[in-house]
Chain A
Amino acid sequence: MKKGSTDIIIVKDLVKKFGNFVANDHLSFEVKRGEIFGFLGANGAGKTTAIRILCGLSLPTSGDLSVAGYDVYSQREKIKQNIGYMSQKFSLYDDLTVFENIRFYAAIYGLSKKEIVQRADVLMKKLQLEEARNKLIRDIPLGWKQKLALSVAIIHDPKIVFLDEPTGGVDPITRRQFWEMIYEAARNGITVFVTTHYMDEAEYCDRLSIMVEGRIAALNTPLALREEYQAKNMNEVFLKLARAQTEEVA
Chain B
Amino acid sequence: MRTILYIIQKEFIQVFRNRRMLPIIFVVPIIQLLVLVNAATFEMKRINMAVVDLDLSGSSRQLTSKFQGSPFYQIIGAPFSYEEAEVLMQDGKVDVIIQIPNGFEKNLIKENHSQLQLVVDAINGASAGLINAYSTNIIMDFNREILIEWLNPIQLGGIRAIKFDSRYWYNPKLNYTTYMVPGILVLLVTIIGLLLSGMNIVREKEIGTIEQINVTPIRKIEFITGKLIPFWIIAMFELAFGLVIGKLLFNIPIVGSLWLIFLSAGVYLFVILGFGLLISTITNTQQQSMLISFFFMVVFILMSGLFTAIESMPEWAQLLDRINPIAYFIKIMRMVMLKGSTFTDISSLFYALVAYAALIISLAIWRYRKVA
- Report A-B touching, CB under 8 Å: yes
Contact with B along A58-85 (1 / 0, CB 8 A): 1100000000000000001110110101
A64 to B14, alpha carbons, bound, how many Å?
41
Return chain B residues, CB-CB under 8 Å to A78. Answer: 217
Specify the main secondary structure of chain B where it touches its partner: helix
Contact with B along A83-99 (1 / 0, CB 8 A): 10101011111111000
CB distance from B221 to the nearest CB of A (A): 12
Return chain A residues, CB-CB under 8 Å to B6. Answer: 103-104, 107-108
Return chain B residues, CB-CB under 8 Å to A109. Answer: 216-217
Q: Which of chain B's residues 5-46 have a Cβ closer than 8 Å to chain A?
A: 6-7, 9-10, 13-14, 17-18
Q: Which of chain B's residues 204-239 have a Cβ closer than 8 Å to chain A?
A: 207-209, 211-219
Q: Does B113 contact A (CB under 8 A)?
A: no
Is B13 a contact partner of A57 (Cβ separation < 8 A)?
no
CB distance from A244 to the nearest CB of B (A): 33
Q: Does A56 contact B (CB under 8 A)?
A: yes
Is A85 a contact partner of B215 (Cβ separation < 8 A)?
yes
Is B215 a contact partner of A56 (Cβ separation < 8 A)?
yes
Q: Does B173 contact A (CB under 8 A)?
A: no
Q: Does B144 contact A (CB under 8 A)?
A: no
Chain B interface extent, by class: 20 to 34
Is A57 a contact partner of B215 (Cβ separation < 8 A)?
yes
Q: Does A211 contact B (CB under 8 A)?
A: no
- CB-CB under 8 A for A108 and B216, given A58-B372, A89-B211, A91-B211: yes
Is A80 a contact partner of B207 (Cβ separation < 8 A)?
no
CB distance from A21 to the nearest CB of B (A): 15
CB distance from B363 to the nearest CB of A (A): 21
A56 to B214, alpha carbons, bound, how many Å?
8
Return chain B residues, CB-CB under 8 Å to A107. Answer: 2-3, 6
Return chain A residues, CB-CB under 8 Å to B370. Answer: 56-57, 76
Is A96 a contact partner of B13 (Cβ separation < 8 A)?
yes
A37 to B6, alpha carbons, bound, how many Å?
34
CB distance from A135 to the nearest CB of B (A): 13
A3 to B219, alpha carbons, bound, how many Å?
28
Return chain B residues, CB-CB under 8 Å to A96. Answer: 10, 13-14, 17
CB distance from A120 to the nearest CB of B (A): 13
CB distance from B264 to the nearest CB of A (A): 33
Return chain A residues, CB-CB under 8 Å to B214. Answer: 57
Q: Does A198 contact B (CB under 8 A)?
A: no
Using CB atoms, name the residue of chain B closest to A136.
Answer: B17
Is B207 a contact partner of A95 (Cβ separation < 8 A)?
no
Return chain A residues, CB-CB under 8 Å to B212. Answer: 85, 87, 91-92, 105
Q: Does B371 contact A (CB under 8 A)?
A: yes
Return chain B residues, CB-CB under 8 Å to A83. Answer: 215
Q: Does A110 contact B (CB under 8 A)?
A: yes
Is A100 a contact partner of B10 (Cβ separation < 8 A)?
yes
Using CB atoms, name the residue of chain B closest to A82.
Answer: B217
Contact of B216 among A52, A95, A105 (CB under 8 A): A105
Return chain B residues, CB-CB under 8 Å to A205. Answer: none
Q: Does A9 contact B (CB under 8 A)?
A: no
Using CB atoms, name the residue of chain A closest to B219.
Answer: A77
Using CB atoms, name the residue of chain B closest to A84.
Answer: B215
Is A80 a contact partner of B211 (Cβ separation < 8 A)?
no
A105 to B370, alpha carbons, bound, how many Å?
16
A94 to B6, alpha carbons, bound, how many Å?
17
Q: Does A31 contact B (CB under 8 A)?
A: no
A110 to B18, alpha carbons, bound, how many Å?
28
A83 to B219, alpha carbons, bound, how many Å?
16
Using CB atoms, name the residue of chain A closest to B10.
Answer: A104
Q: Does A55 contact B (CB under 8 A)?
A: yes
Return chain B residues, CB-CB under 8 Å to A100. Answer: 10, 13
CB distance from B52 to the nearest CB of A (A): 67
- CB-CB under 8 A for A57 and B371, given A91-B208, A93-B209: yes
Return chain B residues, CB-CB under 8 Å to A56. Answer: 215, 370-371
Is B208 a contact partner of A80 (Cβ separation < 8 A)?
no
Is B217 a contact partner of A80 (Cβ separation < 8 A)?
yes
CB distance from A136 to the nearest CB of B (A): 8
Is A108 a contact partner of B13 (Cβ separation < 8 A)?
no
Return chain A residues, CB-CB under 8 Å to B208. Answer: 87, 89-91
CB distance from B222 to the nearest CB of A (A): 9
CB distance from A249 to the nearest CB of B (A): 29
A91 to B207, alpha carbons, bound, how many Å?
8
A93 to B9, alpha carbons, bound, how many Å?
13
Contact with A along B242-276 (1 / 0, CB 8 A): 00000000000000000000000000000000000
**Given contacts A92-B212, A104-B10, could you give 19 more A-B pairs where the C-beta distance is less than 8 Å?**
A56-B370, A57-B214, A58-B371, A58-B372, A77-B217, A77-B219, A80-B215, A80-B216, A83-B215, A85-B215, A91-B208, A91-B212, A92-B209, A93-B14, A93-B209, A96-B10, A100-B13, A105-B212, A107-B6
List the 3 closest pairs (A to B, CB-CB), nearest first. Answer: A107-B6, A89-B208, A91-B212
Chain B interface (Cβ < 8 Å from any Cβ of A): 2-3, 6-7, 9-10, 13-14, 17-18, 207-209, 211-219, 370-372
Q: What are 12 A-B contacts with C-beta separation under 8 Å? A: A56-B370, A83-B215, A85-B211, A85-B215, A87-B208, A89-B211, A91-B208, A91-B211, A92-B209, A108-B3, A109-B216, A110-B2
